[in-house]
Amino acid sequence: MSSTSDRDAEFRTVTGFRGKNIILFDGVCNLCVGSVQFVSKRDTRNHFLFASMQSRPGQEMLHHFDRLRFVGVSFMTP
């Protein structure tokens, strides 16, 4: 049985997110969207990738990390 960090690393490699910080957010929540816009404007070095939980990549991440009841903003590091 593989550890959570092994599964996370495998997921990031397969999806092309390797080495990226991912901010997964609720695209319906105005506060969440505003927070993403705030971070995005200040992320001049492109450290972050963003995905709405309603998007296909967001849904894949939710299923992968077993977070089907996700609400708000979540930050994932490499």
pLDDT at 70: 59
Mean pLDDT, the chain, as a whole number?
A: 76
What is the value of pTM for the model shown? 0.66
Q: What is the pLDDT of residues 40-71, one digit of tens each?
A: 999 999 888 888 988 988 888 888 777 655 55
Nearest C-alpha neighbor of 23 from the set 55, 54, 58, 56: 58
pLDDT at 46: 86
How confident is residue 72, by pLDDT bands cut at 50, 70 and 90?
A: low
The pLDDT of 22-43, averaged and rounded, is: 90
Non-local CB neighbours of 59 within 8 Å, separated by 6+ positions? 53
